[in-house]
Amino acid sequence: MAAKTKELVEALECAYCFGTEMEMTQPRRLPCGHVYCLKCIEDDVAANKIMQCPKCRQVDAIAD
């Protein structure tokens, strides 16, 4: 159970700013299930022209 709880916490933590989902003003869940701040995602997309999950490396299309 402890391992499962740790996984859950990691999944809800922004890999960019290390804020937790509760600290995010605009948390956004990617199709892979990981959650990041909307602003952190936008900054990453602006810099790299692609949305790649920094945790699992899954590439997701950003549709606005």
Sites of contact with Zn ion (CB under 5 A): 14, 16-17, 19, 32, 34, 37, 40, 53, 55-56
- Given a contact cutoff of 8 angstroms between Cβ atoms, the answer to whether 37 and 13 are in contact is no
Shortest Cβ distance from residue 5 to Zn ion (Å)? Answer: 19
The span from the CA of 36 to the CA of 15, in Å, is: 7
Selection from 34, 16, 36 nearest residue 26 by Cα: 36
CB of 10 to Zn ion, least distance (A): 10
Q: Tell me phi and psi for residue 29, to 5 degrees.
A: -95, 125
Q: How far is the CB of 28 from Zn ion (least distance, A)?
A: 10
Of the pair 3, 17, the CB lying nearest Zn ion is at 17
Nearer to Zn ion, 12 or 14 (CB): 14
